[in-house]
Amino acid sequence: MMIAVIPARAGSKRIPQKNIKLFCGKPIIAYSIEAALASGLFDEVIVSTDSHEIAEVAKDYGASIPFFRPENLADDFSTTGQVMAHTVDWFQRNKDKLDSACCIYATAPMIMKSDLVGACEVFRFGGWDFVFSATKFLYPIQRGFKKTESNGLVMFNPEHFNTRSQDLTQAYHDAGQFYFGTPDAWIDNSPLFCEKSTIYELPFWRTHDIDTPEDWKMAEILYKIKGQTDEL
């Protein structure tokens, strides 16, 4: 048995009501719910929330709300891992034993059912603790630099100033869409970035973090350009 879990608490600060704010005409959480349901992978698509308003929207799009998240897991310091551990533990104590659980972020409108299916195949047959969405850094991270206290600049890896880009190791970053994991890995809060995890690579133009109003505007532009509605 496999479930999808979409964490969606009410207390977003930078973008009020972020998880149910209209994105290109419908609540942003709807894209994650619809992709999960359309994939045909999951026995249940659960939204973990502390908000009755979010719960009603989620149910309208086909998700289940078997419980309301406790207050201690709904503050600014609660982690996704803690929310997943709580949901997996609750499900196995109250419903059925799980083979796996997939965390899907509520603010991932670029998500596609085909990516969920592809990543699930990697997860099922690879023996991994976690398989999650990731994408390439567009610029060599070895050439990154930072400002000093005096407003000057210093490289993180000055030894690579003259190294050709093609000779540098490709780096990847979390794409913030979905994370397949075993029940034990979720409950034990196992590390995500380790030898027991691997990635399902997405093209950079289908990944976009949404943390600020400016991010939101850019995501809507990208979504309209790609015409993802037809691809779901």
pLDDT per residue as tens digits for the range 113-131: 999 999 999 999 999 999 9
Residue 145 lies in a domain: no
Residue 150 lies in a domain: no
- This prediction has a pTM of 0.93
Q: Which residues contact 156 (CB under 8 A, 6 or more apart)?
A: 141, 142, 144, 145, 146
In a domain, 195, yes or no: yes
For residue 12, the model assigns a pLDDT of 82
- Phi, psi values for residue 18, rounded to 5°: -50, -45
Is the confidence at residue 232, as pLDDT, over 70? no
Alpha-carbon distance of 192 to 174, in angstroms, equals 10
Separation CA 14–CA 214 (nearest Å): 11
The mean per-residue pLDDT over the stretch 82-100 comes to 97
Residue 36 sits in a domain whose CATH number is 3.90.550.10
* Residue 227 confidence (pLDDT) above 80: no
Q: Is residue 84, in this structure, part of any structural domain at all?
A: yes
Residue 146 falls within a domain, yes or no?
no
The domain of 45 spans 2-133+174-231
In a domain, 11, yes or no: yes
Residue partners of 223: CB distance under 8 A and separation at least 6: 23, 24, 109, 110
pLDDT attached to residue 100: 98
Q: What is the pLDDT of residues 47-57, one digit of tens each?
A: 999 999 999 99
> What pLDDT shows up at residue 141?
95
pLDDT, tens only, 149-192: 999 999 999 999 999 999 999 999 999 999 999 999 999 999 99
Largest interatomic CA distance in the chain: 59
Residue 161 lies in a domain: no
- The verdict on residue 163 lying in a domain is no
* Chain segment 13-39, per-residue pLDDT in tens: 889 899 999 999 999 999 999 999 999
Query: For the chain, what is the domain count?
Result: 1
